[in-house]
Amino acid sequence: MSQCVDPIVGKILAGWRYDISGIAPEMRGDYEDHFTACEHCRARQRLHRTIDVSLIALASVSAGVFLLAFGVIRHFGPRHAFWLELAALAGFALSALIWLIVAVATPAPMAVVDVAKLGARHVHDRLPAEIRERLPEELRLKITGS
């Protein structure tokens, strides 16, 4: 793996988990320039965002499985259904809490929004001109950013 081009800035970014979304826009420029120049920090940032999004996806799947288990228990009504239902609901609540903690503590939701915006911009750019012009102005501004 390559080395950081500016170890001091790299250590600052590592301490922030490579998240610069919470700092002032005036201060963000230097760090964005560093990400542009430093493959090491860009790769670390991608790794951190991948982990964050994976945690959110895993918590979502887990919550869904616990809800499915609750429904199956409710449908079949086994002997100790009350305790099994309670355990399934507790598992769902824990999964939802973990999802919420990850979503609040990490910039993953913003990363997902940025990816969605890039996808929308890509689709917008490929639309025929007559369809693009029929889009409302405020939607066009959100998609293109200008």
pLDDT in tens, 50-101: 888 899 999 999 999 999 999 999 999 888 899 999 999 999 999 999 999 9
Q: Tell me whether residue 131 is in a domain.
A: yes
Q: Tell me whether residue 11 is in a domain.
A: no
Q: Tell me whether residue 17 is in a domain.
A: no
Task: Return the higher-pLDDT residue of 11 and 108.
Answer: 11
CB of 60 closer than 8 Å to CB of 54: no
Domain count, the chain: 1
Tokens of 69: 């288990």
Domain that holds residue 116: 107-146
Look at 26-30, 78-82, 108-112 and tell me which has the smallest mean pLDDT: 108-112
Q: Tell me whether residue 126 is in a domain.
A: yes
Q: How many CB atoms lie within 10 A of CB 78?
A: 10
Closest CA to 99 of 61, 54, 59: 59
The stretch 121-130 carries a mean pLDDT of 85
State the average pLDDT for the chain.
85
